[in-house]
Structure 1
Amino acid sequence: MNIIESLQWRYATKKFDSTKILTQQKIDTLTQAFNLTATSYGLQPLKLVIIKDKKLQKQLTEHSWNQAQVADASHVLVFCIENEVGKKYITKHFDNVKATRNTPDEILKPFKEQLVDSFENKPSEEILNWAAKQAYLAMGNLLTVCAIEQIDSCPMEGFIPEKYNEILKLNELGLSSVLVLPIGYRAKDDMFSEFKKVRRPITDTIINI
Structure 2
Amino acid sequence: MSSAVSTPDSVLQQLQWRYATKKFDPSKTISDDAWKTLEQSMVLAPSSFGLQPWKFFVVGNPEIRRELLAHSWGQAQVVDASHLVVFAIKKDLNAADVDRYLDRMAEVQQTPVENLQKFGSVVKGFMEKPPYPLDINEWSTRQVYIALGQFMTAAAVLGIDTCPMEGFVPAKYDEVLGLPAQGYKAVVVCPVGYRSDEDHSAQRPKVRFNTEDVVEYIN
Normalised by the length of structure 2, the TM-score is: 0.90
**Correspondence for 2:147 among 135, 138, 153:** 138
Offset of 1:141 from its aligned partner? 0.7
Q: Report SS of the residue matched to 1:2.
A: helix
Tell me what 1:49 maps to: 57
Tell me what 1:79 maps to: 87
Q: Report SS of the residue matched to 2:64.
A: helix
The answer on 1:115 being equivalent to 2:119 is no
Q: Distance in 1 between matches of 2:145 and 2:137?
A: 13
Q: Distance in 2 between matches of 1:189 and 1:118?
A: 50
**Correspondence for 1:198 among 207, 210, 217:** 207
Structure 1 stretches (4+) deviating beyond 6 angstroms? Answer: none
* Contact 2:102 2:113 survives alignment (8 Å): no
The answer on 1:10 being equivalent to 2:39 is no
Offset of 1:84 from its aligned partner? 3.1
Offset of 1:114 from its aligned partner? 2.4
Tell me what 2:43 maps to: 35
Tell me what 1:155 maps to: 164
Offset of 1:205 from its aligned partner? 1.1
Normalised by the length of structure 1, the TM-score is: 0.94
* Contact 2:89 2:141 survives alignment (8 Å): yes
Offset of 1:108 from its aligned partner? 1.7
Tell me the alpha carbon deviations over residues 140-196 of structure 1, each in whole angstroms, 9 at most, x when there is no partner: 111100100111110001100000000000011110000000011100011011111
Q: Report SS of the residue matched to 2:135.
A: helix
Structure 1: tracts of 5 or more residues without a match? none
Q: Report SS of the residue matched to 1:136.
A: helix
Tell me what 1:25 maps to: 33
Tell me the alpha carbon deviations over residues 113-157 of structure 1, each in whole angstroms, 9 at most, x when there is no partner: 2222332346xx711001000111111111100100111110001
Offset of 1:31 from its aligned partner? 1.1
Q: Distance in 2 between matches of 1:155 and 1:12?
A: 7
Q: Report SS of the residue matched to 1:166.
A: helix
Q: Report SS of the residue matched to 2:187.
A: strand
Offset of 1:105 from its aligned partner? 4.9
Tell me what 1:188 maps to: 197
**Correspondence for 1:94 among 97, 102, 118:** 102
Tell me what 1:172 maps to: 181
* Contact 2:81 2:194 survives alignment (8 Å): yes
**Aligned residues with identical type, % of pairs:** 38
Q: Distance in 1 between matches of 2:124 and 2:213?
A: 41
- Count of residue correspondences: 209
Q: Cα distance 1:189–1:88, how it changes in 2: closer, same or farther (>3 A)? A: same
